[in-house]
Amino acid sequence: MRNLRAVNHKRTGKWSKQALLLYYGLTDPGTPFYARLPALLALVYLISPIDLIPDFIPFAGWLDDLVVVPVLLALSIRLFPREVREASRIKAEKGARKARIVIGIFLVAVGLLLIGIIFLGAKLFSHLMK
């Protein structure tokens, strides 16, 4: 059980470092447009109503988003110039702990907001049913 937690922590840590690396790389003035283009396409693909597999098809509709977007983001990171990638990696390693704290606070806030909405909805529903 302890090894499973360690593996999950390593995956989570890797994911957050990759997200930070992408952020720092995209905001670096030395990053050329062709390296930013796949990340921009990933964002457009996420918010676009046009998908390879329509979203109304259960599970498969979201599966294409889970494949296409990470591939485009990974391509964007690979296209960063070496200097930008290394500088971004150093910044990401320094900021990983702070990012985990911010993400944790954000998730707690979203959870509390959802709980509040559920209670408010239940109270409103009970008043409407009287």
The reply to whether 66 falls in a domain is yes
Measure Cα distances from 71 to 1, 60, 111, 116, 130 in Å.
31, 17, 29, 36, 52
Residue 45 maps to a domain: yes
Q: Which of 9, 79, 83, 7 is nearest to 39 (CA)?
A: 79
Residues 3 and 1: their CA atoms lie apart, in Å, by 5
Domain count, the chain: 1
Residue 85, in any domain of the structure: yes
The answer as to whether 54 is a domain residue is yes
Shortest CA distance to 85 belongs to which of 37, 17, 3, 7? 17
- Residue 50 vs residue 11, higher pLDDT: 50
- Of 6 and 62, the structure prediction assigns the larger pLDDT to 62
pLDDT band at 10 (very low <50, low <70, confident <90, very high): low
| pLDDT at residue 25 greater than cutoff 60 | yes
110 in a structural domain? no
**Domain region containing 34:** 2-96
